[in-house]
Structures are given as structure tokens and as C-alpha cells.
Amino acid sequence: MHDIWNPWHGCEKICPRDNIKRSNGQPVWQHKCVECLGCLHICPDKAIDYGDITKGRKRYRHKEVKAADLLRGISAEK
């Protein structure tokens, strides 16, 4: 986790386990992660890392799939 956490809530919404909650504007991990890395790849600021494994590495999202499309799909499922 980096100091550049922003108020965008996409990482919370994309998590299939509701693992990310907020307290005083900061993330609070609920220890239910299944390592899907959806939060890591959707974060526009690259503020989330999975230990040293992802630090400094590129994030991936298909060029034709926008974050809004992913979040809309998640909202429809819940």
C-alpha cells in the first residue's frame, strides 16, 4: 500500500470477497483476500502492491475494457 491512496472506490467495488473497507479514508483489509489481484490492476494510481512481487511492475487491463465496464458488471452480480 502506498501513500497515494485516493478517494476512488473501484478497488473496494471490484473485490469479490468485500475484503477492502475504509476507515477515515484509508483502506482496512479484512483478511479475506483470494489473491485475484483485481484491486491491484484496477487502481488508477497503482497504489496497491502484493508484497514485493508486484512492486514496480506493470498493471494489466485489456485496452478495450474500461474500469467502468468492470464495475458495472460487478454491480449487476451483487
Q: Which CATH architecture has domain 10-77?
A: 2-Layer Sandwich (3.30)
pLDDT in tens, 1-57: 555 556 667 888 888 899 998 888 778 899 999 998 888 888 888 888 888 998 889
Pairwise CA distance, residues 55 & 68, whole Å: 25
Q: What pLDDT shows up at residue 8?
A: 67
Please, which pLDDT band fits residue 73 given cuts at 50, 70 and 90? Answer: low
Domain boundaries, the chain: 10-77
Q: Is 29 helix (H, G, I), strand (E, B) or coil?
A: strand
Q: What's the distance, Cα to Cα, between the start and end of the chain in Å?
A: 26
Give the dihedral of Cα atoms 62, 68, 71, 73; nearest 10 deg: -80
Q: Give residue 38's identity as a one-letter amino acid code.
A: G
Q: What pLDDT shows up at residue 45?
A: 81
